[in-house]
Structure 1
């Protein structure tokens, strides 16, 4: 039975090993040393072999992995030690978002309401002026309509300015978010990349290269020999040594002697004594 996980590889990092292995197999045609992929061994067979030897492959990058895990644990501890500051930042962001939302609603509704009022007052005012005799408040309706028209223009101007300010503010927020530790390659991300590079270059690729170069490994050789590098696991099997029940290797058959049957010792009536 092959090992499916390395003793020193955490479960949360196992998917990263699988991704690196799949990527190496997918881009094998771009590497001259892996050009023979598919002649004796296909990608699925190589993947099975690599998973069986995962402990050996990950051991090739053990130093980088230990450094990466250490930094990751330290960063998590630092994040847990100061949860209040992160919550305050999230709360401040939430308050800012609420304020921006109210401003956006006002900026949209003000021109609409002012424009609607303008239309109503102007239509009513001009309708009244067409009536004979002209009502006294017709001019008042027209004046109110033009006032709402001016208010519509002003509110539209403020809405445009508000949209521009919001766009600039969001752009600045995106730049700040990009500068946060989790968004750019920090010390932990660099250690992770160093581990990935070491695992690929010193573990996965050499294993695949040795497997493809070893003529004893393949579907035509059910019992491959153990390579000198010690990287490729033995994928063969040996048949059980079945022997027939009567083979000579078991020695001579056990013999037996039949029971010695004899007739009872008696004589006829003439031999009996009187």
Structure 2
């Protein structure tokens, strides 16, 4: 049987509405306000009646649903604004730069150590030979390059952290707000929409005082 979908209830939320309804029906026998569920009317009958009254039932939680949809749209917009994989630098871009950023200080530092040690030894053994002093000078140059490379790497890490940190925090905040909005809608739908409707249906199906038993 075809069920009408409430105009203000988006099709993508129909399944969530039915899940809340099924949860209510599954626990109906434990709720005093739903006395008679499964006896006066079967759970299948109650489910069909509630689905046919979707417009009426969901209107009781219209404000919570409107807020939930608004937050969800903001969340999707935030995800859509993030750069896709195609927009990010590939291995030929950022990957090469990252490797060079790491390797340059390491290689320059190693070269500086070797040149300074060799130059110091030669200068000590043959102070009149200019080659030892040349090696010392070259070692100092490589040491400067290593220090500069380390500084650049540190700056790069700081920039990356500052760039990614706020975005990740912002996304977590929106995600939490989305979860809260969804649960608020589900609760309002259950307590102000589904349960009162089921209660009224069961009350209407209750036998009157003059109705004979059996």
TM normalised by structure 1 equals 0.44
Q: Distance in 2 between matches of 1:100 and 1:28?
A: 58
Aligned to 2:16: 16
SS in 2 for 1:53: helix
CA contact (8 A) 2:61 2:193 kept: no
- CA offsets, 1:134-169, max 9 Å, x none? 965233223212221232223212322332222122
SS in 2 for 1:6: coil
Query: Relative contact order, CA 8 A, sep 6+: which one is greater?
Result: 2
* Structure 2 unaligned residues grouped into runs of 5+: 208-214
Aligned to 1:55: 51
- The 3 A distance-change label for structure 1 pair 26 and 145 is farther
* Structure 1 unaligned residues grouped into runs of 5+: 80-85, 215-225, 230-274
Which stretch shows the higher mean deviation, 114-123 or 146-155? Answer: 114-123
Indicate whether 1:115 and 2:114 are aligned: no
Alignment of structure 1 residues 1-274 onto 2, 5 Å: 3=1, 6-8=3-5, 11-21=11-21, 24=24, 33=32, 46=43, 48=44, 50-63=46-59, 90=83, 94=87, 104-125=98-119, 136-174=130-168, 196=186, 198-206=188-196, 227-228=205-206
TM normalised by structure 2 equals 0.53
CA contact (8 A) 2:59 2:193 kept: no
| Structure that is richer in helix per residue | 2
Larger Rg belongs to: 1
- Cα RMSD of the aligned pairs, angstroms, is 5.5
Q: Distance in 1 between matches of 2:166 and 2:134?
A: 48
